[in-house]
Amino acid sequence: MIDETGTVTVHGTVADGFEAVRAEFAAFVATERADYEGQLTAYVHGRRVVDLWAGQPDGDSLYGVFSSTKGAAHLVVARLVQDGVLELDREVAYYWPEFAAEGKGAVTLRELITHRAGLIGTDAGFTEEELADDRVIAERLATQRPFWRPGSAFGYHAFSIGALTGEVVRRATGRTLQEVYEERVRAPYGLDLFLGLPPEHERRFRTVLPMTPTPAQQAELDAVPRGPHTLSSIAFNNQVPDPGELTDFPNSPAVRASGQASAGGIASARGLAGMYAAAISMVDGRPPLLKPDTIAEVGQIHSLGFDLVARDRRAFGLGFQATAENLYPFLGAGTFGHSGAGGSQAFADPRSGLAYGYTRRRMAFPGGAAPENEGLVRAVHTAALAS
Amino acid sequence: MIDETGTVTVHGTVADGFEAVRAEFAAFVATERADYEGQLTAYVHGRRVVDLWAGQPDGDSLYGVFSSTKGAAHLVVARLVQDGVLELDREVAYYWPEFAAEGKGAVTLRELITHRAGLIGTDAGFTEEELADDRVIAERLATQRPFWRPGSAFGYHAFSIGALTGEVVRRATGRTLQEVYEERVRAPYGLDLFLGLPPEHERRFRTVLPMTPTPAQQAELDAVPRGPHTLSSIAFNNQVPDPGELTDFPNSPAVRASGQASAGGIASARGLAGMYAAAISMVDGRPPLLKPDTIAEVGQIHSLGFDLVARDRRAFGLGFQATAENLYPFLGAGTFGHSGAGGSQAFADPRSGLAYGYTRRRMAFPGGAAPENEGLVRAVHTAALAS
Amino acid sequence: MIDETGTVTVHGTVADGFEAVRAEFAAFVATERADYEGQLTAYVHGRRVVDLWAGQPDGDSLYGVFSSTKGAAHLVVARLVQDGVLELDREVAYYWPEFAAEGKGAVTLRELITHRAGLIGTDAGFTEEELADDRVIAERLATQRPFWRPGSAFGYHAFSIGALTGEVVRRATGRTLQEVYEERVRAPYGLDLFLGLPPEHERRFRTVLPMTPTPAQQAELDAVPRGPHTLSSIAFNNQVPDPGELTDFPNSPAVRASGQASAGGIASARGLAGMYAAAISMVDGRPPLLKPDTIAEVGQIHSLGFDLVARDRRAFGLGFQATAENLYPFLGAGTFGHSGAGGSQAFADPRSGLAYGYTRRRMAFPGGAAPENEGLVRAVHTAALAS
């Protein structure tokens, strides 16, 4: 049906002054395979200024956004902190007594949420079914000894952070993180960013397609040191006998239905950008979800340095990535967001008022935020500053 | 008046055994433009062993030494700690109650002075006039939320550290840091290192000249990621609509008159080296300004790792750079000093008894301590060890 | 007697499934000089599966294993912690009051044992005789000011860590670390890993031979910045007027007799691997020396980042190196062990049940664990996972 040379059309609209963003997106799409599908949306100060898509009729498709899910999950936590329901410097065990096992009694919510607790997985690993279920993950992690001394280092809790902070939410509110998200964030704004995809939206979901590395790229991927019991393997649940493909995680109906809070979110770029716009800006007459103090605190760099799981330098705020520090150093201090393994990227830059969302269907080399985000973010940010 | 091929003469004297230092300096000067002006002075155990200059008649000229100013400012703090007037592990707010705003109540003087407090600037930035005035800077920073979680990281407080520690000095002593410096350090030794240049010395001041990068160097400078709201922009006050050139900071009479404690110092190499000699050695019959315990503590590495503003690895002691760790790993452990954006470098290496000062008129690529310091420091240190 | 082209024979046995390890060892030996001597032993779940040697008749020779000694020393500490004799979070001064001098009163045993206390040496350095004597080293370090702010950084305590933790053992038990090691670890298992070589085993000791770098390697070694007062020089006792060669440390009868706990151990590969096997596995019907909780804690990463002495990225658990993080990222999380300057390597990987020991006679470029360990460890680990 499609051939290898792409002539994919870019659809959608940009506001005056954002024409260069469309040009950048079109230039990128022209370099992609003919089956490319992707979406780009941006807001500035609550106004939608970019809404583009390619490889699909109407920009209404939904994609697995993997770890961009963590942004939605931690917006819930940020809001509960703002409302006084959660206190960052309380011990996790105050909310969740079982968590105190194995020397974790002193670990605070702030340490947990900044990837410092060392609870990246369990000694035994999870079945695919278990990995779709935050309650099971949380229960197992409560009795797990940390994989490093809490406070001495940090590492990306790839599949566990949402279950851990989610369990704190559940203990404190009596409702799941997914329920609170739906009621307080998603439904009021009608966001296309689901933690738990309702059956009626299933038809909009596009299965994730696997990466198609070139031989040189494949060689690069193969050169990464691997072992079944490394910290990275434990964090990505690859220590089990027959680990599933990361690609297939959101392709599982159980994952989509549960909206696993670390990586099970399903979204469009409109949903991602819309959520970050709602977080920092007045949108459609509604006040921002977060107050200036909360915005400043979630974006404060808390963890900085060598990430024991990612095996590279990383920076985290409160559950969010410090996106400027990690990837786009021209963005404003305090930018907070989260990328996803499928290639998605999403963030808010409070100093420029920019909210950004990007999705794509096929996983991009080498994993994580797709490389095209670099040029797209730069184009959007430049236009936003001039607007 | 001058052409591009340099035949600048090196003047001055070196002690027996330091001939190689003169040779190194002359070899460097021969590679420079014909308008090169610079000075190099060194002491060993309180004895002046190197006193060289080029491009000026008598070595008596004064230059803007930018952040080398921080060395003078923090020698004052070190002395006040030694005298029991200041306690490093007290909260800053103990001395300066307004500082407790925005969650800074627990920040100690030790954290502040080691670039850990996250107070690199303000959301709004400063006018040029304000940036010359430590009192204004301190007042604004008191109500500023830190740009990262205090304790989680550090970053170079380029224009603010002197105002912050200066305000602590003022609250504790009733006098400005500049006044204490003048009375306790500068005047007794007759040092050519001024925090507040008296009108009668203005004629000796040589305006800072801008960097003259080659095209390749310019391309390198242009490749540094920039944005108006980055941590680096905030620290260097580039987030304001029309930021001034760094070059021109000491060229402002207001800056020279105030002796802004982060970057407003005016000095000769004799002044820089003389101050560090006085800090660690008996000079002209006067006992060292600092006792061995104080010397050891100010040079202890307190902050080490990725500097969020410099965007590279850095090490700091108590207000001073850990010069050996940062730049010249052959120097002794505990070496403390401070370089400046104009190219200046100055430090004391207590284990070899070496005190070093270097100034130059024209800013050097790529900024910070000029590259020629590498060879000069090595030559001086080698000769000092053999002396 | 020997020429430069090696035709050294590999002797010994491997269990079924470990044939590739023999092939890897033989392939490496074929590239070495004709006077190569080395040994490789491995256990999986307490069963000896590899026992190979080359350049010697029977694999029974003993070598200086330098810092691999620290593994034996800290197995003693781990066992005493497990038995409740030592508490990691107590201040060192609780056991050893003199240690509180110079602002070290709050330093805990956990900080000390993870190379965080800044006590890498003394201002004055040690004579060769003193450096063989843990009691003298400990006494001097008790009154030494730390070389960095405890808690702010870490650096490899190359010659001092064993004396420091050893003194804690002596104060808490009334017996030297070496005595406790002999009684609790070495003698029960008949291990060829001595902290204090008995005279009757002296005939088995093979003097350490110096490195034989190629001209290119020598140039690389010469390019390392050196100075007499750097942190590295202080840690390796090179700040004294006439420092000895590191090569010769175990060649000193006094060092071998004392079994200096940082670097004075004498061992075979059987001894090294046998000790780590005994630590984590049932061996010859004896239960593991360490319980699962202790195994997990000693291997937890406590110090991670730039090591101020090694001047590179390092990771430490409790006295042990975090071997997977440091060198072989395919090994399991929680792998703990210690390499030695002579080229030795030894560790336990609890998740695969692997215990590994390697020794060689001649020091290997560039120092530390010899490069051949990379291939040997990979071969052994691969076979262990498949077994």
ipTM value, please give it: 0.91
With beta carbons under 8 A apart, name residues in chain B contacting A305: 305-306
pLDDT band at C6 (very low <50, low <70, confident <90, very high): low
> Is C226 within 8 Å of B330 when comparing Cβ atoms?
yes
Rounded CA Rg of chain C: 20
Question: Is A143 at the interface with chain C, CB within 8 A?
Answer: no
User: If DSSP codes are grouped into helix, strand and coil, which group holds residue C143?
Assistant: coil
With beta carbons under 8 A apart, name residues in chain B contacting A385: 228
Question: Is C274 at the interface with chain B, CB within 8 A?
Answer: no
> Is A153 within 8 Å of C333 when comparing Cβ atoms?
no
CATH for the B1-387 domain, from 3.30.565.10, 3.40.50.300, 3.40.710.10, 3.30.70.1020: 3.40.710.10
Kindly identify which residue of chain B lies nearest to residue A385, measuring between CA atoms: B228
Shortest Cα distance, chain A CAs vs residue C83, angstroms: 17
Give the pLDDT confidence score for residue C151 in this predicted structure: 83
Give the pLDDT confidence score for residue C3 in this predicted structure: 38
Instruction: Give pLDDT tens digits for A319-348.
Output: 999 999 999 999 999 999 999 999 999 999
Give the pLDDT confidence score for residue A6 in this predicted structure: 52
Give the pLDDT confidence score for residue C270 in this predicted structure: 98
> Is B152 within 8 Å of A302 when comparing Cβ atoms?
yes
Higher pLDDT, A3 or C293: C293
Alpha-carbon torsion (C227, C229, C232, C235), positive or negative: positive
The pLDDT of C292-314, averaged and rounded, is: 94
Separation in Å, CA A256 to CA A93, A195, A203, A242, A275: 29, 8, 12, 21, 19
Identity of the amino acid at C43: Y
Give the pLDDT confidence score for residue C47 in this predicted structure: 98
- Comparing CB atoms, the residue among C305, C313, C333 nearest residue A231 is C333
Answer whether C319's CB lies under 8 Å from C68's CB.
no
Instruction: Give pLDDT tens digits for C304-322.
Output: 999 999 999 999 999 999 9
> For chain B, what are the domain ranges?
1-387
Distance of CA A252 to the CA centre of its chain: 18
Answer whether A279's CB lies under 8 Å from A50's CB.
no
Shortest Cα distance, chain C CAs vs residue B335, angstroms: 10
Answer whether C295's CB lies under 8 Å from C279's CB.
yes
Answer whether A228's CB lies under 8 Å from C331's CB.
no
Separation in Å, CA C24 to CA B269, C10, C54, C327: 60, 11, 13, 18
With beta carbons under 8 A apart, name residues in chain A contacting C332: 227-230
Question: Is A101 at the interface with chain C, CB within 8 A?
Answer: no
- Comparing CB atoms, the residue among B147, B149, B311 nearest residue A333 is B147
With beta carbons under 8 A apart, name residues in chain A contacting C330: 225-227, 230
Nearest alpha carbon to residue A115 among A141, A151, A90 = A151
* Whether the predicted pLDDT of C72 surpasses 60: yes
pLDDT band at A214 (very low <50, low <70, confident <90, very high): very high
Shortest Cα distance, chain A CAs vs residue B228, angstroms: 7
Instruction: Give pLDDT tens digits for C365-376.
Output: 999 999 999 999
Q: What burial letters (b/e) apply to B232-257, b meaning 16+ CB within 10 Å?
A: bbbbbbbbbeebeebbebbbbeebbb
Give the pLDDT confidence score for residue B6 in this predicted structure: 52
State both tokens at A108.
């605070």
With beta carbons under 8 A apart, name residues in chain A contacting B153: 301, 304
Shortest Cα distance, chain A CAs vs residue B106, angstroms: 14
C-alpha span between C350 and C372 (Å, rounded): 22
- Percent of the residues in chain A that have a pLDDT greater than 90, as a whole number: 92
**Mean of the per-residue pLDDT values of chain A:** 95
Shortest Cα distance, chain A CAs vs residue C381, angstroms: 9
> Is C146 within 8 Å of B300 when comparing Cβ atoms?
yes
* Whether the predicted pLDDT of C200 surpasses 60: yes
Partner B, chain C 307-326, Cβ-Cβ below 8 Å = 308, 311
Partner B, chain A 334-363, Cβ-Cβ below 8 Å = 334, 349, 351-352
* Whether the predicted pLDDT of A3 surpasses 50: no
pLDDT band at C254 (very low <50, low <70, confident <90, very high): very high
C-alpha span between C70 and A313 (Å, rounded): 30
Kindly identify which residue of chain B lies nearest to residue A382, measuring between CA atoms: B227
Question: Is B94 at the interface with chain A, CB within 8 A?
Answer: no
Instruction: Give pLDDT tens digits for C49-71.
Output: 999 999 988 889 999 999 999 99
The pLDDT of A352-379, averaged and rounded, is: 96
Q: What is the dihedral of CA A217, A219, A220, A224, to 10 degrees?
A: 140
Question: Is B306 at the interface with chain C, CB within 8 A?
Answer: no
Give the pLDDT confidence score for residue B3 in this predicted structure: 38
Question: Is C88 at the interface with chain A, CB within 8 A?
Answer: no
Q: Which residues of chain B have pLDDT under 70?
A: 1-6
Nearest alpha carbon to residue C156 among C305, C281, C330, C268 = C305
> Is C227 within 8 Å of B304 when comparing Cβ atoms?
no
Chains contacting A (3 or more CB pairs within 8 Å):
B, C
Shortest Cα distance, chain A CAs vs residue C351, angstroms: 7
Question: Is B105 at the interface with chain A, CB within 8 A?
Answer: no
Question: Is B153 at the interface with chain C, CB within 8 A?
Answer: no
Beta strand extents in chain B (DSSP E only): 10-14, 38-44, 47-54, 63-64, 193-194, 266-267, 303-307, 312-316, 321-322, 336-337, 345-349, 354-360
Give the pLDDT confidence score for residue B4 in this predicted structure: 45
Kindly identify which residue of chain B lies nearest to residue A328, measuring between CA atoms: B225
* Whether the predicted pLDDT of A243 surpasses 90: no
Give the pLDDT confidence score for residue C242 in this predicted structure: 85
Instruction: Give pLDDT tens digits for B339-382.
Output: 999 999 999 999 999 999 999 999 999 999 999 999 999 999 99
Instruction: Give pLDDT tens digits for B242-298.
Output: 888 999 999 999 999 999 999 999 999 999 999 999 999 999 999 999 999 999 999
State both tokens at C133.
């004597």
- Percent of the residues in chain A that have a pLDDT greater than 70, as a whole number: 98
**Mean of the per-residue pLDDT values of chain C:** 95
> Is A300 within 8 Å of B146 when comparing Cβ atoms?
yes
**How many residues would you count in chain C?**
387
For chains B and C, what is the number of CB pairs under 8 angstroms? 56
Give the pLDDT confidence score for residue A1 in this predicted structure: 31
The pLDDT of A197-208, averaged and rounded, is: 97
* Whether the predicted pLDDT of C1 surpasses 70: no
Q: Which residues pair with B64 in a beta bridge?
A: B266
> Is C330 within 8 Å of A153 when comparing Cβ atoms?
no
Separation in Å, CA A239 to CA A126, A231, B381, C300: 9, 9, 54, 18
Kindly identify which residue of chain C lies nearest to residue A241, measuring between CA atoms: C385
User: DSSP label at A184?
Assistant: I
State both tokens at A178.
């997914």
> Is C146 within 8 Å of B324 when comparing Cβ atoms?
no
Question: What values do phi and psi take at B26, rounded to 5?
Answer: -65, -40
C-alpha span between B102 and A293 (Å, rounded): 9
Question: What values do phi and psi take at B338, rounded to 5?
Answer: -165, 130
Instruction: Give pLDDT tens digits for C136-147.
Output: 999 999 999 999
Give the pLDDT confidence score for residue B5 in this predicted structure: 47
> Is C149 within 8 Å of B329 when comparing Cβ atoms?
no
> Is C333 within 8 Å of A228 when comparing Cβ atoms?
no
Pick from B102, B104, B149, B313 the residue to mutate for testing the A interface (most A CBs within 10 Å): B149
* Strand-pair category, B345-349 with C321-322: unpaired
The pLDDT of C110-131, averaged and rounded, is: 96
**Mean of the per-residue pLDDT values of chain B:** 95
Give the pLDDT confidence score for residue C142 in this predicted structure: 98
> Is C385 within 8 Å of A228 when comparing Cβ atoms?
yes
> Is C301 within 8 Å of A234 when comparing Cβ atoms?
no
Give the pLDDT confidence score for residue B331 in this predicted structure: 97
With beta carbons under 8 A apart, name residues in chain C contacting B304: 148, 152-153, 305-306, 308
Give the pLDDT confidence score for residue A151 in this predicted structure: 83
Give the pLDDT confidence score for residue C290 in this predicted structure: 98
Alpha-carbon torsion (A92, A94, A100, A103), positive or negative: positive
> Is C225 within 8 Å of B329 when comparing Cβ atoms?
yes
C-alpha span between B46 and B58 (Å, rounded): 22
> Is C305 within 8 Å of A308 when comparing Cβ atoms?
no
Answer whether B159's CB lies under 8 Å from B121's CB.
yes
The pLDDT of A28-46, averaged and rounded, is: 96
Chains contacting B (3 or more CB pairs within 8 Å):
A, C
CB atoms within 10 A of CB A4: 7
Pick from B110, B301, B320, B352 the residue to mutate for testing the C interface (most C CBs within 10 Å): B301
